[in-house]
Amino acid sequence: MALPDDFRWGATASSVSTDGVAPTADWSTWERDGLAPRSGAGGGFTSDYADDLKLAAQIGLTDIRVTVEWARVEPRPGVVDSGVVDHYREVLGAAREARLAPWITLHHTSLPGWFAEDERGFRDASSRTRFWSRHVDRTAEQFEDLAAGWAPIEDPIGWALRGFLLGTRPPGGHDPERAREAVEGVVEATFDAWRLLSSGRQPVMAVLGLPSVVPVDAEARDEARLWESVLWDTWLRALGDGEFALPWKAAVDRPDLQGVVDLVGIAADHPVGIDRHGAFHPHPVDGRADGSGFCPVPEELGVVLRRVHEALPDHDLVVAATGVGTTDDDWRDELLTATVDQVELAITDGVPVTGLFHDSLVDGYEWTRGFDAPRGLVTRDRRLKESGRNLSQRITGHPPDASLS
């Protein structure tokens, strides 16, 4: 079947991947300490954004998700860099000129070092209220005339687990207690952002990491149920029932969360296996892993879309991020084709999927993998990949212009 005429075809341009790490971001400490490769200018979006956005429109995309990097806007507490604000306004204006609808993400992995390190970041309630809420309000005031919508925090619980339990992101922790604090804090920060931004004219999209959780053996079933509760129930109970609950926290009534977002976005990458110790593993065990170390399975997206719709039948859904970190573009093309097929099948079954954002538009910096696991439809030297050409043809119904190759 053909997707609806008003289906959103988008891509992401997340700040660190596309622009490199901000000098005052927490991630910059990792670079200086040799814990991650140098990011440089990332994918070069800072200088090439106008041409990149025109290219996105030429291949048939309708939307773009751009991160307004907090560490660049406010490099020191209370100090706003007006030049950076002007730059982001130019980027958003260029998206509008290219006839792309720009969605703004306020936090994608990296944070200002002064907030994350000196103020305890999202783990501290007073810091969330004083600094994060101010950043949300200020971003809305500065960019609401250009924004098509808001996607406040990318995969909030995933951010907390990678940084405080798995140790693959700053601050590189392996402390379950601090991880619980980080999960609770970033969920509260997400709720705050949804609530603050929902008072405006633009729609608000949740961007949630909702992987299928699979016990690796019978002894891991309890751990799998625990992680299902953390990764899934936290959001479904909040949006569906107006409750905030975590396995270690009694449920609190939050009726303000019912209906607070307009779209439920799913950051769909891979299922995860859980062992009896609570450790994460690739699933299936014989699957092919990408640069993340996990195995993308397009069919799982169909399962996730139907499950979310069953739990939240009144919400429209978006595939807010899907992609694979690999140098094998044939594999990317195969996975992307299968992913769009799953979206079409879900829509046929009555699931209201209204858009898909590919992560990402242009190859960029991929965290601890540096530039070795590219995710884009376009190379860093601005050549449209075969996966991008095939997606363009699927969107538009005709091959892209030969000049784009």
CB 197 within 8 A of CB 140: yes
How confident is the model at residue 268, as a pLDDT?
A: 77
**Confidence class for position 401, pLDDT limits 50, 70, 90:** confident
Buried b (16+ CB within 10 A) or exposed e, 303-333: ebbbebbebbeebbbbbbbbbbbbeebeebb
CATH number of the domain bearing residue 189: 3.20.20.80
Is residue 2, in this structure, part of any structural domain at all?
Answer: no
Is residue 150, in this structure, part of any structural domain at all?
Answer: yes
Q: What is the DSSP letter of 404?
A: G
pLDDT at 405 over 80: no
Cβ within 8 Å of residue 362, ≥6 positions away: 13, 18, 43, 44, 45, 52, 376, 377, 378, 379, 380, 382
Mean pLDDT value of segment 376-399: 96
Q: Is the pTM of this model over 0.85?
A: yes
Is residue 3, in this structure, part of any structural domain at all?
Answer: no
pLDDT, tens digit, 9 for 90 and up, residues 224-273? 999 999 999 999 999 999 999 999 989 999 999 998 999 999 997 689 99
> Which spans in 115-175 are helix H?
125-127, 133-143, 156-164
Is residue 402, in this structure, part of any structural domain at all?
Answer: no
Is residue 403, in this structure, part of any structural domain at all?
Answer: no
Mean pLDDT value of segment 153-178: 95
Cα dihedral across residues 38, 370, 268, 97: positive or negative: positive
pLDDT, tens digit, 9 for 90 and up, residues 188-233? 999 999 999 999 999 999 999 999 999 999 999 999 999 999 999 9
Structural domain including 219 reads 8-395
How many distinct structural domains can be found in the chain?
A: 1
How confident is the model at residue 347, as a pLDDT?
A: 97
What is the three-class DSSP state of 153?
Answer: strand
How confident is the model at residue 1, as a pLDDT?
A: 62
Is residue 404, in this structure, part of any structural domain at all?
Answer: no
Is residue 47, in this structure, part of any structural domain at all?
Answer: yes
**Confidence class for position 16, pLDDT limits 50, 70, 90:** very high
Q: Mean pLDDT in the chain? A: 95
Give the pair of three-digit tokens for residue 389: 């050409």
Mean pLDDT value of segment 305-325: 97
Phi/psi region, residue 196 (left: phi>0; alpha: psi -120 to 50; beta: rest), is: alpha
Is residue 172, in this structure, part of any structural domain at all?
Answer: yes
